[in-house]
């Protein structure tokens, strides 16, 4: 991830965090859930783009090495240099192994991405549930402390807890 993308990502996540903190303090849990879902969607999209970028960067390097290996194999003339025929056989086997590995890597990556997309909704719900629990653990104790510290508060602690959950 380059530095500008990294800074943009951190800025966006901090903006979402502040927004979630605001809605948690307001005990507006429906809006909190929708904002947490947007945060999950944003993080997932950045993660998938970054994974694909890294994968295809490596994929292109391996493909170019295989291309040059195949080009080198084709350019060898075994009749002109008989000792190169053994080397050519080794290069053919190595190029085939490299092609098979590259195909395996590509198929594995595609299956991984498909599997990740299949369970997207479940992971999103689990993320929202976990982050909501984390923010409740932060916000609810501070609300209780505020109620106990200010004797002029008109609402009772039970009402504060009821609004928090």
pLDDT digits (tens, 9 = 90+) for 55-111: 888 888 888 888 887 777 777 776 767 777 777 778 778 878 888 888 888 889 889
**Percent of the chain scored above 70 by pLDDT?**
82
Dihedral sign, CA of 109, 112, 118, 123? Answer: negative
User: Which residues, at least 6 apart from 65, have a Cβ–Cβ distance to it below 8 Å?
Assistant: 98
Residue 96: domain span? 3-164
163: CB partners within 8 A, 6+ apart: 27
**SS3 state at 138:** helix
Q: According to DSSP H, which parts of 26-119 are helical?
A: 29-75, 84-118
Angle, nearest 10°, between helix axes 120-149 and 3-25?
50
Alpha carbon 107 to chain centroid, angstroms = 19
Query: Which residues are CB-contacts of 36 (< 8 A; sequence separation ≥ 6)?
Result: 20, 127, 128, 131, 132
Confidence of residue 159 (pLDDT cuts 50, 70, 90): very low
Q: How many domains does the chain have?
A: 1
Question: Which phi-psi region, left, alpha or beta, contains residue 27 (left: φ > 0; alpha: ψ -120 to 50)?
Answer: left
- Predicted confidence at residue 125, as pLDDT, reads 92
Residue 147: is its pLDDT beyond 60? no
Distance separating alpha carbons of residues 48 and 51, to the nearest angstrom: 5
The angle that helices 120-149 and 157-164 make with each other, rounded to 10 degrees, is: 170
* CB 164 within 8 Å of CB 139: yes
């Amino acid at each position: 991830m380059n530095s500008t993308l990294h800074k943009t990502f951190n800025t966006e996540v901090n903006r979402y965090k502040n927004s979630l903190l605001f809605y948690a303090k307001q005990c507006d849990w429906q809006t909190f859930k929708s904002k947490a879902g947007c945060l999950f969607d944003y993080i997932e999209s950045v993660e998938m783009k970054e994974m694909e970028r890294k994968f295809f960067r490596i994929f292109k390097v391996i493909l170019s090495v295989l291309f040059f290996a195949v080009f080198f194999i084709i350019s060898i003339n075994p009749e002109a240099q008989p000792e190169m025929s053994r080397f050519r056989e080794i290069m053919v086997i190595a190029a085939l192994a490299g092609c098979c590995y590259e195909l395996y890597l590509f198929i594995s990556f595609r299956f991984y991405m498909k599997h990740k997309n299949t369970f997207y909704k479940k992971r999103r719900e689990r993320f929202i549930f976990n982050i909501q629990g984390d923010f409740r653990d932060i916000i609810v104790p501070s609300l209780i402390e505020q109620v106990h510290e200010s004797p002029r508060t008109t609402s009772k602690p039970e009402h504060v807890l009821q609004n928090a959950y």
